[in-house]
Amino acid sequence: MIGHGGAALARAGCALYPISSPEQAAGSPAAEVKERIAMDRTTRPLVIIAAFAASLAVGLLVTLWLMGGLPRAAAPSAIGGPFRLTDQAGQTVTDKNLLGKPSIVFFGFTHCPDVCPTALFEMSEVLRAMGTDADKVNAYFVSVDPERDTPAVMKDYLSSFDPHLKALTGTPDEVAKVISAYRVYAKKIPLKDGDYTMDHTALIYLMDRNGHFVRPFNLKRTPEEAATELKRYL
């Protein structure tokens, strides 16, 4: 769960959720996400211990950041900006589409093995928990891999998730501009078989009705709790 310190680090450009690694095999189907989230009783204690250790590390980084031991990044107002992309239906979407509704925005790619389908599944659960209010929210999955993620590929990929989710892609230049505007880290990593994967920032951006960045949106809680927070921005 992201606390105030964690949010500060997220604004500084740190990915508080895992990012994909070259060692992970690509192509994990979205349909398997629910099973992975429902961990068995044997693995859960180990995950809790690991999460506790990670929280200690984050706490140390927060302390250093607040004390001036780490460089401060741009203010939240510097996150976001103009963009022009294409959704899975071939329609143009710009930053103007964020106006009038709160938005949750996630950057990833369709060949992402674990983190991206998990995040999209959790976003879908939040949207379902919102009921009819989900129509009052923008939910975007922005590709960091325009070479492979065409609108048709994105449309097929999103078929496993909540229909309120929209996928956005574009030319390499268009994607590079939105990545820069949102201070997203994205890097192509070659694999041994000649293919590649992407390392990328893996947090959810919460934007208000004016298209301004609010904070990283925490999905590591119940969908109902996350939906309650999102409704406050309607």
Q: Domains of the chain (ranges plus CATH)?
A: 4-231 (3.40.30.10)
Residue 132 contacts residue 166 (beta carbons within 8 Å): no
Q: How confident is the model at residue 177 (pLDDT cuts 50, 70, 90)?
A: very high
Residue 184 contacts residue 80 (beta carbons within 8 Å): no
pLDDT, tens digit, for every residue of 119-159? 999 999 999 999 999 999 999 999 999 999 999 999 999 99
Task: Average the pLDDT over 200-225 and give the result.
Answer: 96
Cα separations (Å) of 175 from 32, 67, 152, 168?
28, 35, 17, 9
Distance CA 129, CA 138 (A): 15
Residue 140 contacts residue 193 (beta carbons within 8 Å): no
3-state SS, one letter per residue, for 6-26: HHHHHHCCCCCCCCCCCCCCC
Is pTM beyond 0.75? Reply is: no
* Backbone φ and ψ of 36, nearest 5°: -70, -35
Distance CA 229, CA 156 (A): 30
Considering only residues 73 and 138, tell me which one the structure prediction assigns the higher pLDDT. 138
Using the predicted structure, report yes or no on whether residue 26 has a pLDDT greater than 90.
Answer: no
